[in-house]
Amino acid sequence: MAISFEPTENTVAAKEHFNSIAMEQMRPISRRYDENEGEVPTEWVEWWWNTGRKQTSGKLDGPSDGFIQACVQAEELCFGDAALYLRMPTPALGGSAVGAAGTSEQKVQFLKHFHADGGHPIWGAMAITEPQAGSDASAIETTAEFDEASDEWVINGQKIFCTAGKGSSTVDGGFTVVWATIDPEAGRAGIKSFVVPANTPGMELVGCEKKLGIRASDTATLRFENCRVPRDHLLGSAEVKKKDPKKAGDKGFKGVLATFDASRPIVAAMAVGVGRASLDFVKENLAERGVEIRYDAPPAELTALERDLMEMEAELQAARLLTWRAASLISKGRPNNLEASMAKAKAGLAVTRITQKAVGLLGAEGYSTKLMVEKWMRDAKINDIYEGTQQINQLIVARRILDYPSSVLR
């Protein structure tokens, strides 16, 4: 093995496959569902459930780029439309949580409907954020109490910003993974995650947010009032390790946080997809009017446009390569906490800037809803916020490079 940037045939095939889905299934309805916030993009959801999810991406024998291929898939589909990507009927982050912390029985129990041949579209989701607790997930106040009599967990609290939460909470067969504390005195060590099947009594969909972008994605507020789930719907152990909350005690919480190490490269790849949509469009649009980037022109002759475009290209590719590096470590089963946060921080900010620049470069046309660049600018911004803000990822990177625990660098 040696440093190489040659994708496998599998990755190339996957890229082509998901690119054609992006262009044929997503782009034609992209504007419509942005303008009709809250409406279910039925044709897309049905198409994915009945056709898209059953297609293979031209899987071949031979070597695979592993998790990088998942990043390529996310990039291509978000090149199509990031909001429609988030609206896909899949287990999504709820599935990642079950996959990471669930027993084999739990995996079968909660994920089987997603693999069913027929049925209807269903969604999975993860509910972490609360009105008073976002980045500081250890400050969540939703509780889960165990009721010995009925052998059930009883959940009480409110969750906001739950992506795909409308589908996951109201369509039978889907589920929401809810973070709650089983021991408010124990801090982080008391936080556990619970699988709440759709339409469980006591779980109420309060409503969905109106957002700057990714409007086709349902961002739900969920209220839990004496919402009961069976004992085996807890993911992981019910044990609360209290000894030293700063050290061994938060292993459980760290386990929960570890899902971010896999999800952050995916979000970074999603960001790169939106950024590429914008940059490719601007380059093609300007090329039609005779603006071409001269990579061999001396600095004194480069136009401001060329400089901007070159910087956007370099920034986008740097973000993509950092993302792939973080993904490559996952494939090898190696720790990637630092690299995942580096990728997410870089991609979130780079793509925010690229898409904003794209609007500016096209002038009044870029500002108009006749073109898509204004939408991509709105869609891009969330990537610098969700799945850990820019600042949270900077904090994680800083702790790693300085070798400081969270108690020292807060």
Cβ-based nearer residue to other proteins, 18 or 44: 18
Cβ-based nearer residue to other proteins, 322 or 358: 322
Indicate which single residue of 138, 259, 328, 336 sits in contact with other proteins (rule: CB under 8 A).
Answer: 328
Annotated catalytic residue 387: yes
CB of 26 to other proteins, least distance (A): 25
Indicate which single residue of 212, 238, 287, 401 sits in contact with other proteins (rule: CB under 8 A).
Answer: 401
Buried b (16+ CB within 10 A) or exposed e, 106-134: beebbbebbeeeeeebbbbbbbbbbeebb
For position 298 contacting other proteins by CB under 8 A, the verdict is yes
Cβ-based nearer residue to other proteins, 11 or 181: 11
Phi, psi of 124 (to 5 degrees): -115, 155
Choose one: 49-57, 192-200, 223-231, 398-406; the region binding other proteins (CB under 8 A). 398-406
**In this structure, what token pair is assigned to residue 250?**
């938060």
CA distance 110 to 228: 16
For position 274 contacting other proteins by CB under 8 A, the verdict is no
Which one of the listed residues 315, 339, 374, 387 is annotated catalytic? 387
For position 398 contacting other proteins by CB under 8 A, the verdict is yes
For position 409 contacting other proteins by CB under 8 A, the verdict is yes
* Residue 206, CB-side half-sphere exposure with 13 Å CA sphere: 14
Q: Are strands 175-181 and 124-127 parallel, antiparallel or unpaired?
A: parallel
Cβ-based nearer residue to other proteins, 180 or 349: 349
State the angle between helix axes of 337-361 and 373-381 in degrees (0 to 180), rounded to the nearest 10. 150
CA distance 138 to 366: 41
Cβ-based nearer residue to other proteins, 29 or 60: 60
CA distance 255 to 262: 12
First to last CA, the chain: 39
- 164: which DSSP letter? T
Indicate which single residue of 299, 333, 363, 364 sits in contact with other proteins (rule: CB under 8 A).
Answer: 299
H/E element holding 285? helix 259-288
CA distance 88 to 225: 28
Site for other proteins in 154-193 (CB under 8 A): none
**In this structure, what token pair is assigned to residue 141?**
């106040």
For position 313 contacting other proteins by CB under 8 A, the verdict is yes
For position 81 contacting other proteins by CB under 8 A, the verdict is no
For position 132 contacting other proteins by CB under 8 A, the verdict is no
CB of 88 to other proteins, least distance (A): 25
Looking at residue 291, its amino acid is V
Residue 75: name the closest of 269, 319, 280 by CA.
269
DSSP alpha helices (H): ranges in 123-228? 165-170
Indicate which single residue of 177, 322, 359, 373 sits in contact with other proteins (rule: CB under 8 A).
Answer: 322
For position 220 contacting other proteins by CB under 8 A, the verdict is no
Stretch 358-377: interaction string toward other proteins, x if CB under 8 A: --------------------
Indicate which single residue of 146, 365, 404, 406 sits in contact with other proteins (rule: CB under 8 A).
Answer: 404
What number of chain residues touch other proteins (CB under 8 A)?
Answer: 47
Looking at residue 385, its amino acid is I
**In this structure, what token pair is assigned to residue 1?**
């093995």
For position 311 contacting other proteins by CB under 8 A, the verdict is yes
Cα–Cα distances in Å, from 158 out to 133, 222, 400? 11, 6, 33
Cβ-based nearer residue to other proteins, 11 or 278: 11
Q: Is the dihedral of CA 374, 378, 381, 383 positive or negative?
A: negative
CB of 362 to other proteins, least distance (A): 22
Cβ partners under 8 Å of residue 343, min gap 6: 264, 265, 268, 319, 322, 323, 325, 326
For position 13 contacting other proteins by CB under 8 A, the verdict is no
Indicate which single residue of 345, 351, 373, 377 sits in contact with other proteins (rule: CB under 8 A).
Answer: 345
Site for other proteins in 41-80 (CB under 8 A): 63-65, 68
For position 318 contacting other proteins by CB under 8 A, the verdict is yes
H/E element holding 46? helix 42-50
CB of 270 to other proteins, least distance (A): 18
For position 196 contacting other proteins by CB under 8 A, the verdict is no
Annotated active-site positions, please? 387
Binding site for other proteins (CB under 8 A): 1-8, 11, 63-65, 68, 295-301, 310-311, 313-315, 317-319, 321-322, 324-325, 328, 342, 345-346, 391, 394-395, 397-399, 401-402, 404, 408-409
